[in-house]
Amino acid sequence: VKAAIRTLASVFRWLWKNVIKPVWNGIRTAIRVAWEKGIRPAINAVKSAVRAVATAFEKAKDALGKS
Tens of pLDDT, residues 7-26 = 999 999 999 999 999 999 99
Residue 36 carries which side chain, given as an amino acid letter?
E
| pTM higher than the cut 0.75 | no
What span, in angstroms and rounded, lies between the C-alpha atoms of 18 and 29?
17
Give the model's pLDDT for residue 67: 64
Question: Which residues in the chain come in under a pLDDT of 70?
Answer: 67
Give the model's pLDDT for residue 13: 98
